[in-house]
A and B are shown apart, each in its own frame.
Chain A
Amino acid sequence: MSDGSENGGAMLAVVLIAATIAFVVIGTMWPTKAALAYTGGQGLTSSSSTPEAAVQNLGDEIRASAWQKAYDGLANKAQFTEQEFEHDLKGYYPSLRTYATLDRFEVFPLHASDSDAEVRLKLYWSSVVGISEGTRDLHVVRAGDRWQVEWPIVKKPVVPPQVIPVNYLRWDVIYRGAGDDWGAQDVEAPHVRIVDMRPVERAEGVVILGELLNEDVVPAYVSVNATLIGKNQQPIATEGSFDKISHLLLPKQVTPFLINFPNATLADVGSVRMTPFSTLVPASADPVIEIDNEKLNPAPDASLTGQVINQSGQVVNVAHVLGTFYDSTGHLVWVADEYLDRALLPQTPESFNIHIPEDLARQISSERTIVSTYSSGGSV
């Protein structure tokens, strides 16, 4: 091999190695979207040279579940422990938030001066039942050439020692025998009736609203299906109420329901076939959830706000608040819901805020709220 070839080869080796290093540096300094998905959005360098950047970094660290890093960067970390900080975000008791991951977040500057600033951090948590939102207004302070967040910690709620009498109603069901197929019940299904139904055209498609009554004297597990029938008498689509209903109805209880038909238009619909379904199940009236301080807030940002209070001695891990909205003549206008992503502790109020579409808010003059719950067991 000639010297010239060897020199050329050496140059090639240097070029390839240098290019490889350059590619790695570029890929690390400016990571691709796919790569960022595994770092919680964090790159190699993160600057806190502005209040927004400091909050952005904190959001990235929360998304990456880098609790220690997030805690270490806080200006007021001496006021609470890292564990308290994590529990403040993820919940002190098992709840939707406990197992949620931060899907994304938004940063809104509210006010700034040379030494401090107010920044709003809007967090979108991905939970098993969907996205839940949370907002924190953060005070950010300058510390030398960088900014640090003061975290507004919400300490663990303390439930006072007490005795809570339990005197709720309960229905048990005795089936035919141990060898029976669970599904082959020898009793008649509870009588349920759709007491109201209304199709509505929305931007996302057709929505069927309604209310279902358990007319029976036994509890019922219910669901509702709807089939849109075209003007040519052919079915267009069938959908179910899914989680926009309270599936467990005690005797004489009413639940609202909402069924979505994405991409359908009311003009194509000739009729709607409703199919309620019920089955007998054991049930109890516990836990009793009280709804307090309900208030209809007008547009803009129309909403139904209030508080739910767990009257039982058990922790309710997840609560689902369903609001039914009526106009001044008592006609059904809308059904909306919200999952509370914090556990309901006994006798401890928890706020809810159900969003109402702006265009419907003006028609609403009254509402009715029900709460369904999920508990994985255990008491405080």
Chain B
Amino acid sequence: MQKTELLERSQRPLPLSLLLMAAVAVHLPLLLMKLPLKSYDTNFHIFFASHYLHHWWDPWNPKWYAGFSQTTYPPLPQQWVAVVSHVLGLEMAYMAVQLAAILLLVVGVYRFATLWVSPRAASYAALASVFLGSESFLVYSAGQLGTTAAAPLYLNALPFLFSWVRRGSGRSFIKAVALFTAAAAAHHATLLFGSFFFALPVLALAYLDRDEDGERVAPPAFFARTLAIIAIVGAAIAVVLLPFWIALIHYPVTQTPIPHPSRANYILSPQWGMNYFVVPYGALILALPFVFWRGSTEKHLRPLLLGFWVAFLLGLGGTTPVGPVLLGRAFNVLTMERFSYWATLLALPIVGVLAVELVARFRMRAAVSLTILAAFTCALAVGWTTYHPADAEDFDVSPVAAWLNRDGHDQYRYVTLGFGNKISRLAMMTDAGSVDGEWNSGRMLPELTRYGGGALTSSKYFGTAGLEALRAMLMHADHYGLKWVFVRDEYYDPLLTFAGWRPVDHLNDGTITIWSKDGVPPAQPLNAPQIPPHWQDVIWGVCPFGSSIVAILVLLIPEKRRQAAEARYPAVRDGELGLGRMVS
């Protein structure tokens, strides 16, 4: 009898509360230390949130690119940061929203994994998500709030998709629509590619399992339900992100592609292989043979494996020709690390199986080894911000902001050189506008879009393209009211000297020189056609954020507690999953 109980206990999933506590234990201290502030994009998201905080009903932001529309980027996580910042301030609000996304990922991975593997393996997969290298890489090194917020929403929507297509559950239909819409409002690329990597395998699973558990679903019903949810989700997303689509259609991203090291060949450029393969995958690399083997030999795992495989290949960037062939021009626009992120999420259910089998066979030795490997993976990704920092050097931009904000200096626009991604932080602190920025897809100034350089502040790193863009912008300084150049890199001094700029002041113990051009007229607001009309402002202020509120509300609707996993893995017992009570 005791032996049976032990056996049953060894087959139970780990409690969700334990998984969430693990996530809190690992990530809360790191977030309280504001570690993401060192990342590439965190300040960019906070800058967007700052604009929503002060101008919720006006997505036209005049602080970058002499004015650009924030409707060019799905706003949900940033709007949540703006809302929460009323209580916590912008930086801690960002950390709170990021923590919520991490917790949602644990739940999402568990729910997604239960479609494919046993609840116990799913719980191991969810635990692994806490230590996932790609998650920590995106949170602490890349600062991709949109991607890391959208993926959990998407993962949580997929079991409802399965339930709807498989059984025709109306409640699941509503919940799936709400969560998919909220995911799209968080990040558009996740929606687009998630449909291929995540939703197609789930639909394939539902089709392959159509005769399971005594509730046979006829192929016509399957296809009708699939088409129905595609149509409704498509319509909902079209409405919620309408200003985004309008901006995209009227002003497609046609600018010259900007190089990104995630498109490098990771063998020929091993430093980028380390950054975009070893760090995000970590110890998961050791599990790849098992992922391929088990994903192939278990028939129902094959759709998941194929989704993983394609995402894995794309995540390898320029190491294979797959990315350029499959993505076409988009290969030169997208960054590839997100594909590795999705690939690792898709691999987690099978990794969960591996963990269960190892623990069942080797007991404590396996548990200890897996714990060490997981800790190493997470630590490497978190510590990577120290060994490969986004900013080589930290420095204070508040004196620059103070200088701009006094004596009418903010009547003119400015640009920085050698500030790295500090320009987002500076933009938050000053009233002055800049002709530079960090949101390349939102910029419309021809001087910036023509050459293929990134932010002007880092011009020299983009070679001829970056320097040509800088020269073009300086040539048209009068047109944009560009009077100030803040230089923290003497590399640019000869250009400014010969182009007619003069140093007029120094800040930060002489490490920052302010250059000025005489005769520049004060900056005028651009009467750009990209300025959204008022009705789009209202939609942008109501719908994306509203979609998340609707998603939260519909999740409260109780649903019959029945999952495909329960049929496949009857060992699951009532009361083991707090998750079931919460979301289904």
Contact = CB atoms under 8 A, between A and B. Distances in A.
B495 A20 contact: no
Nearest to B269: A38
Contact of B319 (A35, A221, A320): A35
B495 A128 contact: yes
A23 B297 contact: no
Interface string B454-490: 0000001001100100010011011100000000001
Interface range on chain B (Cβ under 8 Å from partner): 35 or more
Contacts of A239: 475
Contact of A126 (B299, B463, B477, B517): B463
Contacts of A223: 500, 517-519
A314 to B, nearest CB: 15
Contact of A376 (B259, B493, B518): B493
Given A34-B331, A99-B460, A238-B478, A128 B267 contact: no
Interface string A148-176: 00000000000000000000000000000
A317 B321 contact: no
B426 interface: no
Contact of A130 (B295, B471, B479): B471
A128 B498 CA distance: 11
Contacts of B304: none
A27 B321 contact: yes
A28 B270 CA distance: 12
Contacts of B200: none
Interface in A27-52: 27-28, 30-32, 34-39, 42-44
A83 B420 CA distance: 30
B467 A6 contact: no
Main secondary structure of the interface of B (DSSP, over half): helix
A39 B268 CA distance: 7
B298 A23 contact: no
A160 B502 CA distance: 34
Q: Which of B259, B269, B298, B494 has its CB near the most chain A CB atoms (within 10 A)?
A: B494
Interface stretch (A241-249, A298-306, A360-368): A241-249
B321 A103 contact: no
A277 B292 contact: no
Given A6-B297, A34-B332, A242 B268 contact: no
Interface in B174-219: none
Contacts of A245: 500
Given A37-B259, A374-B494, A24 B296 contact: no
B504 interface: yes
Given A13-B296, A20-B313, A374-B498, A277 B463 contact: no
B97 interface: no
Given A35-B265, A99-B491, A279 B296 contact: no
Nearest to A35: B318
29 contacts: A10-B296, A12-B302, A12-B305, A13-B293, A13-B296, A13-B297, A16-B296, A20-B309, A20-B313, A27-B321, A32-B324, A34-B324, A35-B318, A39-B265, A99-B460, A103-B463, A130-B471, A182-B504, A183-B516, A221-B502, A225-B478, A240-B500, A242-B474, A243-B495, A243-B498, A281-B502, A339-B498, A374-B494, A376-B493
Interface of B: 259, 261, 263-265, 267-269, 272, 289, 292-293, 295-299, 302, 305, 309, 312-313, 316-322, 324, 331-332, 407, 460, 463-464, 467, 471, 474-475, 477-479, 490-495, 497-500, 502, 504-505, 516-519
Interface of A: 1, 5-6, 9-13, 16-17, 20, 23-24, 26-28, 30-32, 34-39, 42-44, 96, 99, 101, 103, 126-131, 181-183, 221, 223, 225, 238-243, 245, 247, 277, 279, 281, 317-318, 320, 339, 372, 374, 376
